[in-house]
Structure 1
Amino acid sequence: MRYAIVDIETTGAHAKGHGITEIAVVITDGTTELERWETLVDPGLNIPLHITHLTGITNDMVHSAPTFDAIADELEEVLSGCVFVAHNVGFDYAFIRGHYEAIGRVWSSPKLCTVRMARKLLPGHASYSLGRICEDLGIINDARHRAMGDCAATVKLFHHMLATNRAADVVSGMLKRGERESWLPQHVPTSDFEALPSAPGVYRFLNKKGTPIYIGMSHNVRHRVRTHFNGSMKSARRQAFLRDIYCIKAESCGSVLMARLIEDELIRIHWPIHNRAQKSIPIRTAIVSYTDQRGFKRLHLQRQRHSKHAIRWFRREDDARAWLHAQAVLHKLQPELLGLGSDGRSQSIGEDRRTAHNKAMHTIIDAAQTRETWAIVDRGRTPEERAIVLMENEQVKGWCYTDATVKRFDEISELIELKNGSATADAIVQHALYERELGKISFDIIEPTA
């Protein structure tokens, strides 16, 4: 088998918006160097001063160098038929693939990461950066942060690892189609992924300190986590995101509804840096009351994301209008005073009707604001377990998991763990009720007996 050990120098830390300034490739059969190839590259961009201080590559040095387009054919020929190997392979691979894409070409290769190999074959080191691991092993690098210097050091490291007892099995496993080492972030052990449930749940990406940097949910946690690591690594944010992940934790929640509620709660506790904002809260139709200049109590429809000042709110405007029409008919009130506008036949209400009108309006408002409690009974995390969500009108008051058989509403209060609640949690339940109406999900609803 032939391996292409690759190292590149660049104008910045991510492939999107930055260019390659130098490429070095060493072809090896795993024990002996077969070929070396290197070139400076004109990135078409100014090289930042701090990059020049790090690598020693100046703008003058690359001024007359070929562009990537000019060396693309030769580089592809050098890499052809080889396994692409690099220290933190995702970085070098993303840059080279991105540069081919920029000139309208598709390039791909099987790849190995010497960071992951070292963690498997050379355990116990404090750091697996190229400089530190080479220092530990006595590998000399006379040109650090230049492409061929780092490339040659990586070759020696690679040869050293291939000479260990388990090397053949480790390399074979990493090269298998879909092998997780090829797409998992470099610091994440495969055992973390193996432990993920293929069921509804919540997952957390943790940094080196064990702090959640991203929290998500899915109806299939394992599949969703896998999708985070698909595709390109071009953007700086994505590269930083993957580089910061050291551990993946997850928990089954039993149902999508519970996964969404627990995700919302965990995000509000930890506010992870890569959850840019809390989940978007849907805009709903609220019914609010006010008193006009003539002293008449009136209702008004308005679209808002919260239930503040609302006597009732509805997911759909049509439902809100239907409720108002029903109140107008029931209490013999003019529709336009309930926020429904005029059909052209109504006449202005006289001052002598104000007291009766306002009395009827207070009756409507009091009834709308009556605190109605009810509960959702959903699937639990095991066949025997049930999840219970306690609601007060349209607001989430709390939830719990229980193995107890719950048949009556009055059995719930002692089981429920009260929560702080949020507008997002309320919207999650309303969306679940809508999905239940459509037959997409199922759960039971328990109400107090009269």
Structure 2
Amino acid sequence: MKYAIVDIETTGGTRKSRGITEVAVVVSDGQQVVDTWSSLINPFEPIPPRISALTGITDDMVQDAPGFDEVAEELMGKLEDCVFVAHNVGFDYAFLRGHFEAMDISFRRPKLCTVRLSRKAFPGLPRYGLGALCDAMDIPHTDRHRALGDAEATTLLFHKIMASERGQLAVADALKRGTREQWMPQHVPAKEFDVLPDEPGVYWFMDAAGKPLYIGMSIHIQKRVRSHFSGTTASSKRQILMRDMRSLKHELAGSEWMAAIMEDVRIRAHWPPLNRAQKQPRAYRSIVHYIDRQGRNRLAVRAQQGTRGALRTFHSEASARKWLHKQVQDHGLRFDLLGLGALVPEETVSVEEHEARFPEAMQAWKQAPSGWFCERGRTPDERGFIAVREGHVVGYGFVEADDLQGDLSSPEGQERLEALSFGLHPVAPSSTLDARLREEMASNLTWVEARTA
């Protein structure tokens, strides 16, 4: 078996088609070197001064160097039929794959990470960075932060790993098809993935300081976590996670709706740097009321940020139009005046009838419902409990299943629900949750509406 020990230097970016300034490959049989190759690469963008200070590679050095597309065929030949090996392999592998795929060249190789292998072959060391390992194991390491110098040092480290019994077992285990060692960030202990459940909940990706890089939710936590790293896209988010992630944790939620609430609360409490979707203003599909030039009351679906001035807010155009269809039927209104166009051969409701019925419908739409969701809990003995006040989620938590027995729509049941609402985790107003709330109230069978006196 052949191993290609690879190191790259970059401009510090994460883009697919630019950013590499140097590539080095040392081909080994696991005991000795059989081939060596390296090349400067023109990234076709300025190299930041801080990167030049670190690597010693300047704009002048790469000005006449070939672009990646000019060396891609030769580089692919060096990597052919080899196991891809690197220190922090996720970064180098994803970067090269992104460059190859930008040229419509498929790139898939089995890979090994010498960080993770070193932890298993040489347990108990204080640090596992390349420089620290070379110092601890008397490995010569010249030209640090240059591709060939780092690749040669990594090769000597890999030979020491292969010479140890622990290392050989670690390599064999890592090369098993589908093993988590192939795709997990190298700094994250494998046992943290092993304990992930395939149930609804929230997961956290954290950095070396224990701060969240990203918070997400899923109805299948383990599958969703794996999807962040096992796909084929060399995204900037994935590369940052492969480089900076040090641990992960999870929280069970019991249901998808509870997981969505827990995720939203935690993102807004911590604002992780990779949760860009929640940081950017989001365009929702809102139902708005207006009066046209003929003085007729109309509704329309509009994309707008936030929920201000909206009668209803939805995540999708389809959900918004479905709601409008229901209002036509429930209130005897016209399709065309509710923004649905000429969807029937002939309107069965006159404009006059539409106008006469519209005020009552409008009054119903403006009523902000209150109530509770009594969701599946994390265990058979508990239930997820979500409180809604005047059209907003205001609290969530978990209660004993026995507390939700009986007729919850009865006066006694409503009093019990009100009492359980005290002590819930508070939820601040959220456009994201407001948009989903209407859909949940319409389709979620656990919804219990509060009865007015």
Q: What is the TM-score of this pair, normalised by structure 1?
A: 0.78
1:37 Cα offset (Å): 1.8
1:323-402 residue pairs with structure 2 within 5 A?
Answer: 373-402=370-399
Alignment pair present for 1:445 and 2:420: no
**Partners in 1 of 2:251 and 2:244 — Cα distance?**
21
- Maintained 8 Å contact 2:91/2:243: no
Counterpart of 2:36 in structure 1: which amino acid? W
| Runs of 4+ in structure 1 over 6 Å off | 309-314, 363-371
* Residue matched to 2:317: none
Contact between 1:288 and 1:309, CA under 8 Å: does it hold in 2?
A: no
The unaligned stretches of length 5 or more in structure 1 are 290-297, 327-334, 337-342, 350-356, 437-441
Structure 1 CA distance for aligned equivalents of residues 352 and 13 of structure 2: 69
Distance in 2 between residues matched to 1:208 and 1:270, nearest whole Å? 16
CA drift at 1:125: 3.3
Which of 431, 434, 440 is the aligned partner of 1:432?
Answer: 440
Q: In the alignment, which residue of structure 2 is the partner of 1:124?
A: 124
Rounded to whole Å, the distance in 1 between the matches of 2:312 and 2:177 is 55
1:35 counterpart SS class? strand
Question: Residue type of the partner of 1:284?
Answer: S
Q: 1:73 to 1:364 in 2, by over 3 A?
A: closer
| Inter-partner Cα distance in structure 1 for 2:198 and 2:20 | 40
Structure 2: distance between partners of 1:344 and 1:107: 63
Which of the pair has more CA radius of gyration? 1
Opposite residue 424 of structure 1, the aligned amino acid is T
Change (3 A) 1:84 1:443: same
Deviation readout 1:46-77 (Å, 9 max, x if unpaired): 55263444333455555555554454444333
The 1:385/1:446 distance shift into structure 2, 3 A limit, reads farther
Q: Is the contact made by 1:286 and 1:301 (CA closer than 8 Å) also made in structure 2?
A: yes
| Residue aligning to 1:39 | 38
* Pairs within 5 Å for 1:406-425: 406=404, 407=406, 408-416=413-421, 417=424, 418-425=426-433
In 1, the alpha carbon distance for the partners of 2:103 and 2:366 equals 63
Q: Quote the residue 2:228 is aligned against.
A: 228
Q: In the superposition, relative to structure 1, how do residues 344 and 233 fare at CA in structure 2: closer, same or farther (>3 Å)?
A: closer
Q: Paired residue for 2:256?
A: 256
Counterpart amino acid of residue 380 in structure 1? G
Retained in 1: the 8 A contact 2:21–2:43? no
Which residue of 2 is the match for residue 295 of structure 1? none
Contact 1:288 1:310 in 2 (8 A): no
1:162-201 mapped onto 2 (5 Å cutoff):
162-201=162-201
Paired residues of 2:213 and 2:273 also in contact (CA < 8 A): yes
Q: Percent identity?
A: 40
RMSD: 3.8
Question: 1:191-231: CA deviations, max 9, x gaps?
Answer: 12111110111111122222222211111111111111133
SS at match of 1:91: helix
Q: By how many angstroms is 1:170 displaced?
A: 0.9
Displacement of 1:10 in angstroms is: 3.4
SS in 1 for 2:420: coil
Question: What are the within-5 Å matches in structure 2 for residues 17-96 of structure 1?
Answer: 17-31=17-31, 33-43=32-42, 45=44, 48=47, 50=49, 51-59=51-59, 61-62=61-62, 65-96=65-96
Q: Give, in whole Å, the separation in 2 of the partners of 1:311 and 1:34.
A: 70
Aligned residues: 413
Deviation per CA, 1:160-211: give whole Å up to 9, x if none: 2223331122111111112212211222111121111101111111222222
In structure 2, distance between residues paired with 1:68 and 1:313: 47
Rate the CA distance shift 1:63–1:346 in 2: closer, same or farther, 3 A. Answer: closer
Equivalents in 2 of 1:42, 1:207: separation in Å?
31
Q: How does 1:303-314 map to 2 (within 5 A)?
A: none
For normalisation by structure 2, the TM-score amounts to: 0.77
- Partner residue in 1 for 2:345: none
Match of 1:110 in 2: 110
